[in-house]
Amino acid sequence: MRQRILIPVLFLFTNLAFGQTAKYSNEFLSIGVGARSLSMSNASVANTMDVTSGYWNPAGLTSLQNNFDAGIMHAEYFAGIAKYDYLGGAMALDTNSYLGATIIRFGVDDIPNTTDLIDSDGNIDYDRITRFSAADYALLISYARKTSIPNLSYGANAKIIYRNIGKFAHAWGFGLDLGLQYKLDDWKFGLLARDITSTFNAWTFNEDELIIEVQDSIYNFAPENSLELTLPKLLLGVARDFPIYNKFRGLVELDLDFTFDGQRHVLIEGDPISIDPHLGIEINYNQLAFVRFGVGNFQRIEEFENKESMTFQPNFGIGIQFKGISIDYALTDIGDQSLALYSNVFSLRYSFDRK
């Protein structure tokens, strides 16, 4: 007698692997890095100019103010269940070329593994429960260079992705991003073609770890090995820097994210193209203290009696920068704002020159 059951945790983390072109594949790479950008609703494609450019737009590495730049960030999601970490470094190779590296991890740890809860005689033994982690990792290697055209630069990311679900399954993925930045007086323009080659994840499942045998019955959930594709996404941004009063200055950026994988639940829904706008504002005093605001994640919600309402995600943040050290904080809503699921995100950045 053979039966099949679903292991809930595995189902949640692997259901994307069955489709050839999953709409929300590798979504952990869409969260963002750096409290500054998160507080501005991820409106950073045009104005990014530090180590986080390796994620937002590699062309921004050409605007590094120092020879070396390093950054780190930690955030927790869903009341601490999930951990999100970022580590980045960038350096100037010469006056025109720049190199960067970005490491990202998004994971849930200490998940109970109950596949061995029942022994071969059908007895429940809680001492047989073990724990595992389900985590996504990404390594981005960035290269950027200034062109012969003044104020125009380009950059590229080579991405290596590793996704792991304990001993049950894992996947390797590879992809490529291309970016441009152009500055014209107080205006900044940015373009990022993310996953331009279509990023793929090749999943492998460990059937030996998934099979549960109890007496004469075999309970089994072992999907076939498969390939998961992430279709390209185009991010366009325009920003302007402007004086406010005395030593106060402001920066505003509007970004448009174009997706090509079918209708998404965003402000401008279409099939196959959807557009997700988001806006960020930064006010600084003498490049020492910063206050930031952002709004994004616009969605139309259909209510009773066919009425429709609009929801959006607000963000807020502050920052301090002094002698190459930058400390940034973001208060960001990671879910339905009516549930008050806010996260406190901190990031640290250090810039320095060669002795």
pLDDT tens digit string along 20-56?
455 667 889 989 999 999 999 999 999 999 999 999 9
Say whether domain 2-352 belongs to CATH 2.40.160: yes
Asked if residues 188 and 181 have their Cβ atoms less than 8 Å apart, the reply is yes
* pTM score: 0.83
Per-residue pLDDT tens digits for 216-242: 555 555 566 678 888 899 999 999 999
Per-residue pLDDT at 98: 97
Q: Which amino acid is at 148?
A: S
Query: Higher-confidence residue: 211 or 133?
Result: 133
Q: Nearest to residue 290, comparing CAs of 280, 279, 277? A: 280
Neighbours of 204 (CB within 10 A): 11
The model's confidence at residue 6, banded by pLDDT at 50, 70 and 90, is very low
* pLDDT at position 7 over 50: no
The model's confidence at residue 190, banded by pLDDT at 50, 70 and 90, is very high
Q: Nearest to residue 345, comparing CAs of 30, 28, 26, 37? A: 37
Per-residue pLDDT at 187: 96
SS (H, E, C) 35-73: HHHHHCCCCCCCCCCCCCHHHHCHHHHHHCCCCEEEEEE
Per-residue pLDDT at 205: 82
* pLDDT at position 327 over 80: yes
Mean pLDDT estimate for the chain: 85
Of the chain, the percentage scoring pLDDT greater than 90 comes to 57
Per-residue pLDDT at 5: 34
- For residue 39, what are its two tokens? 């507080």
Q: Nearest to residue 136, comparing CAs of 203, 72, 71? A: 203
Q: Tell me, what DSSP letter sits at residue 223?
A: P
Rounded CA gap, 344 and 76, in Å? 8
Of the chain, the percentage scoring pLDDT greater than 70 comes to 85
Per-residue pLDDT at 11: 35
The model's confidence at residue 336, banded by pLDDT at 50, 70 and 90, is very low
Q: Nearest to residue 13, comparing CAs of 29, 30, 26? A: 26
Rounded CA gap, 139 and 63, in Å? 22
Per-residue pLDDT tens digits for 293-305: 999 988 877 777 7
* pLDDT at position 14 over 50: no
Q: What is the largest CA-CA distance in the chain?
A: 81
Q: Nearest to residue 20, comparing CAs of 263, 174, 227? A: 227
* pLDDT at position 173 over 80: yes
Rounded CA gap, 297 and 39, in Å? 13
Strand order in the sheet with 212-214: 2-4, 217-220, 212-214
Per-residue pLDDT at 106: 94
Q: Which amino acid is at 254?
A: L
Per-residue pLDDT tens digits for 105-155: 999 998 888 777 777 677 887 877 888 899 999 999 999 999 999 999 999
Per-residue pLDDT tens digits for 147-164: 999 999 999 999 999 999
Q: How far is CA 91 from CA 40, 50, 211, 330, 342, in A?
A: 25, 10, 49, 26, 34
- Sign of the alpha-carbon torsion through 118, 121, 127, 133: negative
- For residue 341, what are its two tokens? 């699921």
For 125-157, b/e burial (b = at least 16 CB within 10 A) is eeeeeeebebbbbbebebbbbbeeeeebbbbbb
Q: Which amino acid is at 103?
A: I
* pLDDT at position 202 over 80: yes
Parallel, antiparallel or unpaired: strands 2-4 and 217-220? parallel
* pLDDT at position 270 over 50: yes
- For residue 153, what are its two tokens? 């630069």
* Neighbour-count burial of 89, counting CB atoms closer than 10 A to its CB (0-12 exposed, 13-18 middle, 19+ buried): middle
